[in-house]
Structure 1
């Protein structure tokens, strides 16, 4: 039996879910290796040498091309071009898609990530930083407002469902975990509802592991918060 073209290396994080969303939406067969942060598998010498020199997830190995691709934006662009899905042939729409892809990479991910880090990892490990928390939560909120404005009169980021939505959704939809308020952003909330309703997305958010604490304000996060803070305790600066 032949192997799938794509071997995915990922974990249950906002970045880690992005390529799973594409593969499930596109119906592309793939192998999956779960990277266990608790065992520091993303830093294993062979993984760094052959798959991702930055020692992060996600990454893919494309068997037909005999090469690895790392960084979630590059992975989604590669897959979209390879399979001819979720990336318009129209040059203006393609350009807009790339712009919003970089918007996520340069803004939404870093700001939401820092909002989460200072609240969910640093603070439980004894480093309460109110200034930093406010800075990153406020900037994350501003970015949600940018998205809300963009989505007025549009079902999806570039009009049609695309890799731009797949890039942004896992981070923006995790607003409960970052404690970012979105109640008064109706176009953004409607976009969440549309993507929430996609069966392939809901399946993707369980692979390799479901983390409802990220998305659901009513989920019991106490045990996961302790586990998550402990897992990344070594990332917290020691005095």
Structure 2
């Protein structure tokens, strides 16, 4: 059976397309137009009651939340996810670090610098929030810079942890103060963006957006 990725080309969806391309797993895209309410379609809500992309279906298996999808694909393919418990625990730690820290913190910078201002929020309120989350995101960038000392990738070998973190660094580097003062993070970013599978993954779904 062919894997189906229910997606809109968001950062979280591209974590999954990177994994699929790197693992050489055939898949098809079911486009969910979140700009026009596609996430509220009852058929999609039956797959993910939370109404967020991405969702992956593989025969009888349905998985939502990008980290869970990455783990599933790693187990399925036997690639980019260690088989030994110690290695897998290390990768899981960084995978969930991204889900709990880097993604939400950087995402809040985006919201308060864009959506909140469009909503006419109090500039003092948004200014304090932007300061808070920009500072936190910068600290998280520094955690990555420190972690990459003596390592090409977060857990030694390239893994789903790198795929999860990379999209947030690639798309919004300025949220954490940029890469210029973080040479190890910059080198890590450059090594991943140069991978052909990553380039293919970033194009996935882009042609389906109504412009």
> TM-score w.r.t. structure 1 length?
0.82
Contact 2:138 / 2:175 at 8 angstroms: preserved in 1?
Answer: no
- 1:162 pairs, out of 151, 159, 165, with 159
- 2:21 pairs, out of 21, 24, 41, with 24
Q: Distance in 2 between matches of 1:92 and 1:46?
A: 39
Instruction: List, as ranges, runs of 4+ consecutive aligned residues in structure 1 with deviation greater than 4 Å.
Output: none
Q: How many residues align?
A: 205
Query: Which of the pair has the greater relative contact order for Cα pairs under 8 Å at 6+ separation?
Result: 2
Matched, 1:10 2:7: yes
Structure 2 residue runs without a partner (length 5+): none
* 3-state DSSP of counterpart to 1:202: helix
Question: Partner residue of 1:60?
Answer: 56
Question: Partner residue of 1:102?
Answer: 96
Matched, 1:172 2:169: yes
Contact 1:116 / 1:177 at 8 angstroms: preserved in 2?
Answer: no
Structure 1 residue runs without a partner (length 5+): 211-226, 228-239
Q: What is the Cα deviation at residue 179 of structure 1?
A: 6.4
* 3-state DSSP of counterpart to 2:81: coil
Q: What is the Cα deviation at residue 176 of structure 1?
A: 3.9
* 3-state DSSP of counterpart to 2:190: helix
- 1:142 pairs, out of 110, 116, 139, with 139
- Aligned Cα RMSD in Å? 1.6
Q: What is the Cα deviation at residue 55 of structure 1?
A: 0.4
Deviates more, 1:112-121 or 1:125-134: 125-134
Question: Partner residue of 1:76?
Answer: 70
